[in-house]
Chains A and B, each alone.
Chain A
Amino acid sequence: MFDSLSERLGGIFERLRGRGALTEIDVRAAMREVRVALLEADVALPVVKDFIENATQRAIGAEVIKSVTPGQQVVKIVNDCLVELLGGDDEPAPLKIAVTPPAVIMMVGLQGSGKTTSTAKLASWLATRERKKTLMASLDVARPAAQEQLRVLGEQLEIATLPIIAGQTPVQIAERARQAARLQGFDVVLLDTAGRLGVDEALMAEMAAIASATNPDEILLVVDSLTGQDAVNVASAFKERVALTGVILTRMDGDARGGAALSMRSVTGAPIRFAGTGEKLDALELFDARRVAGRILGMGDIVGLVEKAAANFEAEQAEKMAEKLAKGQFDMDDLRMQLGQMKKMGGLSGLAAMMPGMGAAKKAMDSGAIAPKLLDRMEAIILSMTPKERAKPEILTAKRKIRIANGSGTTVQDVNKVLKMHQEMANAMKRLKKMGGMKGMMKMLAGMGGMPGGPEGGAPGGEGPGGAIDLGAVGRMFGRPGMGSLPPGFNKFGRK
């Protein structure tokens, strides 16, 4: 979700890493780039200024000079600052719903920020995860059919909604909702308010009136992650009128750089609680500051990846692989084993999300450009081969290929693509044979970088530095044309 920022910062730190010692000039140069990157990512200007000041102060001086790897040190400092800005390592206190029922949660935000959808998602989350009996009420009497929309969503989710009575004011509806919740034994009542503009005094006053009439336990500000520099104004306008207790960022599944995420916390002081990640009504995730900061930096969850991979990769297989690699062999069974590993690690999409700079691939997968079932189909193709064919793919004739295609429910073209991918990987393996076992495996995974960005892309796998698993081949195989180009410097990743 923050790919573009990752790309940019990734490039900057790439340059930093290449140097020996870090001077103040280096730090300042890097920070200038960070600053533009953050601004382009729609992080609000005052927030950027604070951030840069903070990070620069921390980066210049003893910490860096004494550090063994200055580049990493700066990465760490910027990362730490980002994590802090996004809410720190600490889990935010849970939603205040364990009060004398009904707990009142009021949703506020601009028009079109996604309040109604977020209300429904939150209600569903409360009902399923927290096992709370939840009631939703729409106080939006301004937008045509807004109350109807919430009612329909409630029906879909099997969450109760307050019956609509025409002609009531929002405050009256809110009071009726609380009343109904108390009488009917609901644990939580969610109040979906009308969208309003920060400059609309009448509606802002109405919002404050609803808040003082119902005394909500939580007031959540719903903010569109596509928001630009205006995010600061929005946050302060709402903060001035009601006591915000949290933020929900919507449309985090879009391709926005998401600078709003950075701005929100620092302006409102309230924790970012949830991220809306899709159209579906269960697409609501707890906001994870650490992970998001990691992605922003483009360093991915490289640590997490290593750990996850290590836990999954059985030592025995590693040994076998190392032996084969040492001999420069890599057959179809090895390819299948790798695919299996990838699946265990959460499939292509999960894996790609963890890889620094793999945002483009992740994006392509999320958007459906690369089918998530891809690994299964590739596996099916390999499993449709005889053991002999798997060991020596070069014996595959046209006739055999047709048989394999029929057996696996694919086409000969698909079979050819798997073979090509295997060939490319085998070539890469040969280059990697000095690095056996686990280390080699990690390099290989890191080398997934060979993926070209689009249909016209296509650094042939042979050139992909250490490009073991050529995702480009994967993408070309069943996918449609790629969805945007890969970040610069991505190909460099496997080189170290």
Chain B
Amino acid sequence: MSWMARLKQGLAKSTKRLADNITGLATGTQPLDEARLDEIEDALIAADLGPAVAGRIRARLATQKFTSYADDGDIRAVVADEVEKVLTPVALPLELTHRPHVVLVVGVNGSGKTTTIAKLASQWQAGGKSVMLAAGDTFRAAAIAQLKIWAERVGVPIVAGDQGGDAASLAFDAVKRAMDEGIDVLIIDTAGRLQNKAGLMDELAKMKRVIGKLDPSAPHDVLLVLDATTGQNALSQIEVFGQVAGVTGLVMTKLDGSARGGMLVAAAEKFGLPIHAIGVGEGMDDLQPFDAGEFARALAGVEG
């Protein structure tokens, strides 16, 4: 099954719902009245697009030439079109520009950081890069063990300390080792934290500072991992992690569930941060580059 098929399958429920909501709204002969526009807007909000983007699409539908003749296909197309327009500028792959290229992975608890790291490691390694992991989540019980298991499975070296240890000094050691050993990519895990916990966010800022001591340009990428089931709070996550850790790009996980990840659209509009990849399954190949057009069409239920 291609990854697009998986994404589609993952989004099937939502697509169906969005499509269902849109289907039947337009009769084909009547102009879209306020009530129908309301329902379309609702359908968009229900896909987590956020009220602002939903409102814009609604406004567009209200003024378009097909106001007097809009069938379901037209509406899906305009939705997909509008979504794609928002997403295209942010659909950028993660490029390795340094050696070692240091990637710091941050996010709230349970967003899928560790699994994402494993997938990235596996893909880069398959692409001929030497990869090293650093188990910077020294807080959660068994987080280190979890990453060690992944490192073993993928077959890459890992720098790990003890649970409860200092994450910043571990990151420092890892960067040093990666430099000494001529590693291509170092991926540093961090403990999940809610963005409104100042103390934990400070720790993250410290980690970043300490990494910068060895290589002022590091970390070269700070990835924020977002859970697709998250609603509008994702915006707050991007904002605060952005301020504290200088997030350079987003990865969205768990898009193979029933969640739609529509808040990526809201996030793209508000922050314009690159969306590097989306995760659509458990397998190592299920983390894929983000394609704005495909995502938009899958979200809106456009055929083909």
Question: Which A residues contact B (CB, under 8 angstroms)?
Answer: 36, 39-42, 44-45, 110-114, 143-146, 148-149, 152-153, 156, 197-199, 224, 226-231, 233-234, 237, 251, 253-257, 259-260, 279, 363, 366-369, 480, 483
Residues from chain B with a CB closer than 8 A to the CB of A229 are 45-48, 231, 260, 262
Alpha-carbon distance between A112 and B232 when the two chains are bound, in angstroms: 18
Alpha-carbon distance between A113 and B141 when the two chains are bound, in angstroms: 16
Whether B194 pairs with A255 at a CB distance below 8 angstroms is: yes
Q: Mark B243-268, 1 if CB is under 8 A from A, else 0.
A: 00000000000101111101100000
Whether B259 pairs with A230 at a CB distance below 8 angstroms is: yes
Answer yes or no: B212 CB below 8 A from chain A CBs.
no
Output the nearest chain A residue to B21 by Cβ-Cβ distance. Answer: A45
Which of B42, B51, B111, B256 is within 8 Å of A199, CB to CB? Answer: B256
Residues from chain A with a CB closer than 8 A to the CB of B231 are 42, 226-231, 256, 259-260
Residues from chain B with a CB closer than 8 A to the CB of A260 are 231
Other contacts beyond A42-B231, A148-B142: 10, CB < 8 A: A45-B45, A144-B149, A148-B141, A149-B142, A197-B256, A197-B257, A226-B108, A229-B45, A230-B259, A254-B233
Output the nearest chain A residue to B111 by Cβ-Cβ distance. Answer: A112
Alpha-carbon distance between A281 and B179 when the two chains are bound, in angstroms: 38
Name which of B143, B194, B195, B231 has the most chain A CB atoms within 10 A of its CB. B231
Using a Cβ–Cβ cut-off of 8 Å, how many residues does chain B contribute to the interface with A? Answer: 49
Shortest CB distance A250–B (Å): 9
Among B68-76, B79-87, B91-99, B196-204, the stretch that binds chain A is: B196-204
- A-B pairs with the 9 shortest C-beta distances? A228-B231, A112-B110, A42-B231, A149-B142, A152-B141, A367-B198, A197-B257, A144-B149, A145-B146
Shortest CB distance A139–B (Å): 16
User: How many contacts between A and B, using CB within 8 angstroms?
Assistant: 151
Q: Mark B1-27, 1 if CB is under 8 A from A, else 0.
A: 000000001101100000000000000
Which of A111, A146, A226, A480 is within 8 Å of B198, CB to CB? Answer: A480
Whether A234 pairs with B194 at a CB distance below 8 angstroms is: no
Answer yes or no: B130 CB below 8 A from chain A CBs.
no
Answer yes or no: B140 CB below 8 A from chain A CBs.
yes
Once A44-B46, A197-B256, A251-B194 are accepted as A-B contacts, the answer to whether A224 and B229 lie under 8 Å apart by CB is yes
Residues from chain A with a CB closer than 8 A to the CB of B111 are 112
Output the nearest chain B residue to A115 by Cβ-Cβ distance. Answer: B110
Alpha-carbon distance between A226 and B110 when the two chains are bound, in angstroms: 11
Once A226-B231, A480-B198 are accepted as A-B contacts, the answer to whether A149 and B258 lie under 8 Å apart by CB is no
Q: Mark B207-242, 1 if CB is under 8 A from A, else 0.
A: 000000000000000000001111111101000000
Can you pick out 26 interface pairs between chain A and chain B where the beta carbons lie within 8 Å of each other? Answer: A44-B46, A45-B42, A112-B112, A114-B110, A143-B146, A144-B145, A145-B146, A148-B141, A149-B141, A149-B142, A153-B141, A198-B257, A199-B257, A228-B233, A229-B46, A230-B48, A233-B259, A253-B197, A254-B194, A255-B194, A255-B196, A256-B233, A257-B232, A259-B231, A367-B198, A483-B196
Whether B195 pairs with A255 at a CB distance below 8 angstroms is: yes
Once A45-B42, A111-B254, A199-B258 are accepted as A-B contacts, the answer to whether A228 and B263 lie under 8 Å apart by CB is yes
Main secondary structure of the interface of A (DSSP, over half): loop
Answer yes or no: B169 CB below 8 A from chain A CBs.
no
Which of B13, B51, B140, B256 is within 8 Å of A39, CB to CB? Answer: B51
Whether A152 pairs with B142 at a CB distance below 8 angstroms is: yes
Shortest CB distance B110–A (Å): 3
Q: Mark B127-157, 1 if CB is under 8 A from A, else 0.
A: 0000000000001111101100110000000
Which of B12, B51, B109 is within 8 Å of A40, CB to CB? Answer: B51
Alpha-carbon distance between A398 and B229 when the two chains are bound, in angstroms: 58
Name which of A143, A224, A260, A483 has the most chain B CB atoms within 10 A of its CB. A224
Alpha-carbon distance between A253 and B198 when the two chains are bound, in angstroms: 12
Output the nearest chain A residue to B196 by Cβ-Cβ distance. Answer: A255
Shortest CB distance A81–B (Å): 19
Name which of A227, A253, A363, A483 has the most chain B CB atoms within 10 A of its CB. A227
Residues from chain B with a CB closer than 8 A to the CB of A144 are 145-146, 149-150
Shortest CB distance A262–B (Å): 12
Once A113-B110, A483-B196 are accepted as A-B contacts, the answer to whether A228 and B258 lie under 8 Å apart by CB is no
Once A144-B145, A229-B45 are accepted as A-B contacts, the answer to whether A110 and B198 lie under 8 Å apart by CB is no
Residues from chain A with a CB closer than 8 A to the CB of B142 are 145-146, 148-149, 152
Whether A230 pairs with B258 at a CB distance below 8 angstroms is: yes
Whether B108 pairs with A254 at a CB distance below 8 angstroms is: yes
Residues from chain A with a CB closer than 8 A to the CB of B234 are 226, 228
Alpha-carbon distance between A319 and B140 when the two chains are bound, in angstroms: 54
Residues from chain A with a CB closer than 8 A to the CB of B229 are 110, 224, 226-228, 230, 234
Residues from chain A with a CB closer than 8 A to the CB of B13 are 199, 233
Alpha-carbon distance between A363 and B236 when the two chains are bound, in angstroms: 14
Alpha-carbon distance between A197 and B143 when the two chains are bound, in angstroms: 21
Residues from chain B with a CB closer than 8 A to the CB of A256 are 231, 233, 236
Whether A156 pairs with B254 at a CB distance below 8 angstroms is: no
Shortest CB distance B8–A (Å): 12
Output the nearest chain B residue to A143 by Cβ-Cβ distance. Answer: B146
Residues from chain B with a CB closer than 8 A to the CB of A199 are 9-10, 12-13, 256-258
Shortest CB distance B72–A (Å): 19
